[in-house]
């Protein structure tokens, strides 16, 4: 029993060490975010974002392009319109300019794409339509099959409908699994 557990541990460690930096095509991440509402600093926005890269498009030595999906559940401390659920599909980019530590790839991330809001109003922020856009930007690091990143999330209808009081989650910390 001890021998098989030791073998599994050694194989796991060796696979982690021998993996190339860019050997994954999909990811699944869960993040929690919190920030003051930039449109009204008396209120705070917070919530969870489940996201993932589900369709790889192009990989180079320094970039990874993919289609990304996201589901968000957001809450505000404003006295009304306290919750909104979001769903989005986006074009995502990870740019790998350098490595940290023992060769762990660090990256900048960005994504943008159409999103759907469950409600047009979130706190004191109003959208002219349930159809909107989600934009993410941040930085992160990959360690073996795992990922950690810090990003911000922005929702807006890009002035295609009025009003357009976009809302933000400025600090979203996500942890993920790469496969």
pLDDT of residue 16: 44
Q: Can you say how many angstroms the Cα of residue 144 is from the centroid of all Cα atoms in its chain?
A: 18
Is 126 a member of any domain? yes
Q: Other CB atoms closer than 10 Å to residue 160's CB: what's the count?
A: 12
**How far is 162 from 167, CA to CA, in rounded Å?**
14
88 domain residue, yes or no: yes
Residue 20: the pLDDT is 43
Provide the number of structural domains found in the chain: 1
User: Residue 146: inside a domain, yes or no?
Assistant: yes
Average pLDDT taken over every residue of the chain: 90
The answer to whether residue 11 is domain-embedded is no
Q: Which residue numbers in the chain have pLDDT < 50?
A: 9-10, 12-21
- Residue 150 vs residues 90, 159, 171: alpha-carbon distances, Å: 18, 27, 7
- Residue 93 belongs to what domain range? 22-178
Q: Is residue 84 part of a domain?
A: yes
Q: Which residues contact 101 (CB under 8 A, 6 or more apart)?
A: none
Residue 90 lies in a domain: yes
Which CATH number is 160's domain given? 2.40.160.20
Q: What are the pLDDT digits (tens) for 116-158? A: 999 999 999 999 999 999 999 999 999 999 999 999 999 999 9
Is 16 among the domain residues? Answer: no
């Amino acid at each position: 029993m001890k021998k098989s557990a030791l073998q599994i541990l050694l194989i796991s460690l060796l696979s982690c060490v021998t993996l190339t930096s860019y050997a994954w095509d999909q990811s699944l991440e869960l993040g929690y975010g919190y920030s003051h509402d930039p449109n009204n600093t008396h209120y705070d926005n917070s919530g969870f974002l489940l996201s993932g890269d589900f369709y790889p498009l192009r990989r180079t030595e320094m970039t990874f392009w993919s289609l990304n999906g996201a589901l968000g559940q957001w809450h505000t401390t404003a006295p009304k319109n306290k919750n909104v659920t979001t769903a989005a599909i986006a074009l995502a980019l990870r740019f790998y300019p350098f490595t940290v530590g023992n060769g762990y790839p660090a990256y900048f991330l960005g994504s943008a794409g159409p999103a759907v809001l469950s409600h047009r109003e979130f706190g004191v922020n109003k959208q002219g339509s349930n159809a909107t856009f989600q934009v993410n930007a941040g930085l992160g690091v990959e360690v073996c099959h795992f990922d950690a990143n810090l990003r911000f999330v922005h929702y807006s209808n890009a002035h295609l409908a009025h009003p357009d009081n976009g809302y933000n989650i400025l600090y979203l910390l996500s942890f993920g699994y790469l496969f």
